């Protein structure tokens, strides 16, 4: 896991720099900076509306007495999306904007939830299979 994070922390900024340089050469530095700031502002506005919508879904499920698990995972995805959108660059913005598409976000949240639950079930089944249960009776020989 550490290696994956290290690779991400090294490669993503390099990819961002390369993309920014290439776009800067085509449209100019000023327009590139304006575009980066514009995508951050647009992303923040979209993030706000999506966040409010997700919060409303959480409240609705709580009022119904249901666990809002999928909606909470969607909220986490929105949080990550916000971080990606506020990070300067087009590569991270692409993933941030994709996470703002409700259908994609819901699918991702459902997939994450199903995988999480399957892993928890598998762990519990493994723990119960490996447990040693010895049945027997005990008599105290000193008692009369």
Residue 72 lies in a domain: yes
Residue 59 sits in which domain range? 11-126
- For the segment 59-112, what is each residue's pLDDT rounded down to a tens digit? 999 999 998 999 999 999 999 999 999 889 999 999 999 999 999 999 999 999
- Considering the domain boundaries, does residue 1 fall inside one? no
Q: Is residue 135 part of a domain?
A: no
Contacts of 53 (CB under 8 A, 6+ apart): 102
Average pLDDT over residues 129-142: 64
Query: In whole angstroms, what is the distance from residue 8 CA to residue 118 CA?
Result: 27
Residues in Cβ contact with 89 at an 8 Å cutoff, skipping those fewer than 6 apart: 16, 19, 20, 36
Residue 138 counted as domain residue: no
Asked if 90 and 36 count as a contact pair (C-beta separation under 8 A), the reply is yes
Number of other CB atoms surrounding residue 89 within 10 Å: 21
**Overall domain count for the chain:** 1
pTM of the model: 0.75
Asked if residue 139 is part of any domain, the answer here is no
In a domain, 137, yes or no: no
């Amino acid at each position: 896991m550490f290696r994956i994070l290290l690779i991400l922390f090294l490669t993503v900024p390099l990819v961002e720099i390369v993309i920014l340089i290439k776009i800067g050469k085509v449209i100019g530095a000023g327009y590139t900076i304006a575009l980066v700031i514009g995508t951050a502002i647009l992303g923040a506005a979209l993030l706000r509306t999506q966040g409010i919508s997700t919060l409303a879904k959480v409240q609705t499920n709580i009022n119904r007495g249901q666990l809002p698990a999928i909606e909470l995972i969607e909220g986490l995805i929105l949080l990550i999306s916000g971080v990606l959108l506020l990070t300067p660059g087009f590569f991270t913005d692409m993933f941030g904007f994709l996470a703002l598409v409700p259908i994609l976000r819901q699918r991702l949240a459902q997939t994450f939830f199903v995988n999480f639950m399957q892993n928890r079930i598998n762990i519990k089944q493994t723990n119960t299979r490996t447990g040693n249960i010895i049945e027997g009776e005990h008599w105290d020989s000193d008692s009369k």
